Amino acid sequence: MPHVIVKLWPGKSDEQKHRLSEAIVRDVTRIFEYGEESVSVGFEEVSPSQWTARVYEPDIRSKWNTLTKQPRYEAEPNKQRRALQQQRKSKG
């Protein structure tokens, strides 16, 4: 322990995941003073169409008061993404 699970949209490379995993392990061992052998990191890719049901509702919205960092997007990330794309188009 601890075990850290990173949930994210598909598309990040194995190298990016490996770098993030190394950073997480480095910080967990430094901050919590655990040995590296005590830390595990996993990645769960969740499609944008499933994000709200599989991540936002069960892990974010229902546990909002336990989050140490809250997201700044709506419950429907695709809706937020479309809004940002529209803003960029109107500026350009």
Residue by residue, pLDDT tens for the chain (92 residues) are: 899 999 999 999 999 999 999 999 999 999 999 999 999 999 999 999 999 999 999 999 999 999 999 998 866 556 666 666 777 788 76
Domains of the chain from N-terminus onward: 3-91 (3.30.429.10)
Three-class SS state of 83: helix
Catalytic residue among 2, 48, 58, 71: 2
What pTM did the predictor assign?
Answer: 0.76
> Which of 4, 77, 78, 82 is CA-nearest to residue 40?
4
Q: Residue 60 has what pLDDT?
A: 94
In the chain, the largest separation of any two C-alpha atoms, in whole Å, equals: 51
18-21-27 Cα angle (round to 5): 145
The answer to whether residue 2 is catalytic is yes
Reported in sequence order, the residue ranges of 11-92 that DSSP labels E, i.e. its strands, are 40-45
pLDDT on residue 86: 75
CA 54, CA 52: separation in Å to the nearest integer? 6
Residue 79: the pLDDT is 63
